[in-house]
Chain A
């Protein structure tokens, strides 16, 4: 069974702190996606990581991919309240026609 596991599933942190969300997957996919979802809203694409060692940064978020370890990380630097959301990672399914999703990490950043 294809699995994508995120941890932690819930994270409450103070503004200004750093933290990392982890995404482990069991497929042989060499691409990984990070999405953000605000409550009651749609899924917004954050990053697409296309190969082993890929690193992408946007503002206070930085994502990396290690395909050998089947691990991606989403690092938050000096968190601000506006980053509060649920973050999902996803990988291509073996059949190429779907994304396999993690359970999401609900991030709450307190002022």
Chain B
């Protein structure tokens, strides 16, 4: 059983456009993470989110990126002005608890973002 779903599964956009990627947990998880994976490369942490606040963000997560929970359930990642190098798979992950007590992170199916 998937813990989390993501929409869309594939997003194609023009460079400079804004995109919003959505993550929908099956149950009411409090702890969310976004990762990205450029094709064939390693998984990179972007940001973690807890109790409606960013817990931590990586160097990749610059001012072009933002996250929020607009309706208390969905969890979104927004890229304001996409660049070619933003093309990647974006994964949402959840845990039941945070940090060293958090345990396994369960990943959504991912959104493939293609920037032209």
Q: Which residues on A are within 8 Å of B, measured CB to CB? A: 31, 33, 35, 41-45, 48, 88, 90, 92-93, 95-104
Contact = CB atoms under 8 A, between A and B. Distances in A.
Contacts of A101: 42-45
A45 B100 CA distance: 17
A97 B56 contact: yes
Contacts of B48: 97-98
Nearest to B33: A98
Contact of A43 (B55, B56, B107): B107
A103 B109 CA distance: 19
Interface residues of B, number: 24
Interface in B96-115: 98-100, 102-110
Contact of A93 (B35, B41, B45, B110): B45
Contacts of B109: 41-42
Contact of A96 (B41, B98, B104, B106): B98
Contacts of B45: 93, 98-101
A48 B101 CA distance: 12
